[in-house]
Amino acid sequence: MHLLDSAKTALTKLAFNTRHAHARLKQGTVRFKTTDLVNFYHEMEAAGVIYVVLRWADDVPLNLVDELSNEYDVDHLIADSQIKIALNLAAVRPGKVKCDYYSASGQSGTSYNGMPYYMPAHAQRILDRRTKDPRGFYRPCPEDEFFALAYHLCYHKGHRCGIPTGLDAPHDASPPRNYLAGLQGLARTAGHSIKDTTTLIELHDFLRQNGWSMSQDLMLRWPDQHPFLTALFEHERAACAQDVVAAQDLTVFVLRDDCDTHELQTIARKMISERFTIVDEVALDTTARSRVMSQTRGGNWIEKYRPEPVQPIIAIICRDAAEQGPLPIAMSAAKLAKRYPHLKKTDVLMKRVIRDHINLVAPLAHDRVVLHATDNPLETVETLRAIFGEDASAFLAIHGHSS
């Protein structure tokens, strides 16, 4: 019996490795059909895995009868450092319940087509504030559960969730769930109110007001360009068109807290000034840091080598050179276009030269990312709005391009 159990475990692990490798290759998320979720969650807690069931927690099947009648997936969000532990625990209990696993930073094999499922600052917040359901598994706290579902319906599901879009994009009349009712129930628990007549554009505005919206640069890059997301991006771009014109000659570099000494910051500043004219520098306070992390994609602000998010600390706002210098990195035109499809000016790629230099002069066990930079005027506007809040347009009126 012992030999049979060992053989079964070995085959299960082989299946896990194959499935995980396939998910990584396809830039997707690994899925396991699982049984006995009660003991699975108990084992996750015993192993110290930080996770949540992302949504529809009330529908999680916790006995055999419910497993057999269950029609829905169970989506999990898991801390980056514990993904492998969780997946190994899932792999050894094959069953009927479809379970998907996403990591906070979108690590390979636990991403949505190569992208983090939630903006990592939001994902980290969900994990940090999780609560234990009386039935024995972890779920987001009521406020985060509401916002996470609203985000999912607005940006992931879009018109398919059955909520009218409010834009020139029709919605599905017969979604598989009553998503609006589910959102309204979570809203009541969290102390919010969602009207029966709510549209997706109104939901987007509500999410933005509460620091939970999808950034425009992420909308542009999101793998599922469904009709509502496309219409929303165009709507948002039109709304900030005047600021985008004013920002056409500006680039923002954001130094991170792994550029952690005065000497390294001086190096970064000096190297930036070789291609750009620095017009302003802003030490980010707590409010601005939070906005930058939640409103800009910015390399995602999470690294696998540390449990807490990386903090943006200094914004260096620059005027572009009238003429671009030589390409800062060795890269063919075809590879450049594929790697940076939204890049307007190649001088921005100085960020890679700066990273390499700082990692050379101040090496660590892991490479520092050091800084991020905006790839185009739209990203510059979004980043300036995160830095200055309502004063971003006033800043652009003074320092921006005048047509």
Query: What band does 344 get if pLDDT is binned at 50, 70 and 90?
Result: very high
- pLDDT the model gives residue 155: 97
- pLDDT the model gives residue 22: 47
Tell me the CA distances in angstroms from 208 to 50, 228, 265, 378, one per residue in order: 27, 16, 32, 17
Using the predicted structure, report yes or no on whether residue 299 has a pLDDT greater than 60.
no
Using the predicted structure, report yes or no on whether residue 26 has a pLDDT greater than 80.
no
| Secondary structure of 74-109 in HEC code, one letter for each residue | EEEEECHHHHHHHHHHHHCCECCEEEEEEECCCCCC
Exposed / middle / buried, residue 69 (Cβ in 10 Å: 0-12, 13-18, 19+): exposed
Residue-wise pLDDT tens digits, 345-363: 999 999 999 999 999 999 9
Residue-wise pLDDT tens digits, 75-111: 999 998 898 899 989 888 889 999 999 998 888 788 8
Using the predicted structure, report yes or no on whether residue 36 has a pLDDT greater than 90.
yes
216-235 average pLDDT score: 93
Residue-wise pLDDT tens digits, 371-395: 999 999 999 999 999 999 999 999 9
- What letter represents residue 36's amino acid? D
- pLDDT the model gives residue 91: 86
Domain ranges in the chain are: 1-140, 159-239, 244-399
CA dihedral sign, ordered 37, 41, 122, 309: negative
Query: What are the two backbone dihedrals, phi and then psi, of residue 64, each rounded to the nearest 5 degrees?
Result: -65, -40
- pLDDT the model gives residue 13: 57
Mean residue pLDDT of the chain comes to 90
Residue-wise pLDDT tens digits, 156-189: 999 999 999 999 999 998 999 999 999 999 999 9
Residue-wise pLDDT tens digits, 60-70: 999 999 999 99
Q: Which residues contact 262 (CB under 8 A, 6 or more apart)?
A: none
- Cα separation, 80 vs 276, in Å, equals 36
**Higher-confidence position of 302 and 384:** 384
Annotation: CATH topology of 244-399: Alpha-Beta Plaits (3.30.70)
Query: What band does 121 get if pLDDT is binned at 50, 70 and 90?
Result: confident
